[in-house]
Structure 1
């Protein structure tokens, strides 16, 4: 019931706005187009001002680090796309071995546990 009431309200509002725009266009077209032009200019100025102030400062460390990492990633991706294997550099298998080589994370350690033993669980 509430959604139907709001829908009727919105339809009435849009209808009244359309009637107002058409009547203003019929009475004085030059003023209508002038006001539309001014409205568009003000809208563009407000858009750029809001975008400028709410963009966020690039001085923030997090944003700066993210942008730096994004640039590195983009360069790395472009270099990989642009590079093609040549006959002089080696075979394709050597390139595949190099690509599959993974770096080990030194900050991660393996904790040995009891993987073979099962837990005693009560069955219901």
Structure 2
């Protein structure tokens, strides 16, 4: 019930804005259309400027590195699932399997994301 005064105030402002827009459109339609176009051009200009400067955010590059690593991991797991064990028919096939098992695995699917891990919080000492 406390917010009723602010609700009526907002409704009153909206009604005054509608009356002003309609009266301006009726009195001078060309100026009204021109004002709308200018408003849209300025709005798009501000939108593209903000988008350009926001795109240089270092957090975005970290996010893209995470997405890239997730895509590689997903691809690797899909390849593991799609492989079916083949029937062993020759002895040479067994020797190649042993070589593959002994080969050390590379951790290429892991990526390091820079952060503030080494920074310690300031705490009160007692």
Task: Pick the TM interval, shorter chain.
Answer: 0.5 to 0.7
TM-score by length of 1: 0.56
The equivalent of 1:34 in structure 2 is 34
Paired with 2:42 and 2:79, the residues of 1 have a C-alpha distance of 45
For these two proteins, the number of residue pairs brought into alignment is 86
Distance 1:82 1:39, change over 3 A: farther
TM-score by length of 2: 0.55
Give SS of 1:25's match: helix
The equivalent of 1:43 in structure 2 is 43
Which structure ranks higher in relative contact order (CA pairs < 8 Å, sequence separation ≥ 6)?
Answer: 2
CA deviation after TM superposition for structure 1 residue 33, in Å: 0.8
Paired with 1:83 and 1:31, the residues of 2 have a C-alpha distance of 66
Q: State the Cα RMSD in Å.
A: 2.6
* Pairing 1:69–2:66 present: yes
The equivalent of 1:4 in structure 2 is 4
Over 3 Å off, 4+ runs? 62-66, 78-84
CA deviation after TM superposition for structure 1 residue 79, in Å: 5.1
Alignment of 1:70-89 (within 5 A): 70-78=67-75, 80-81=77-78, 85=82, 89=84
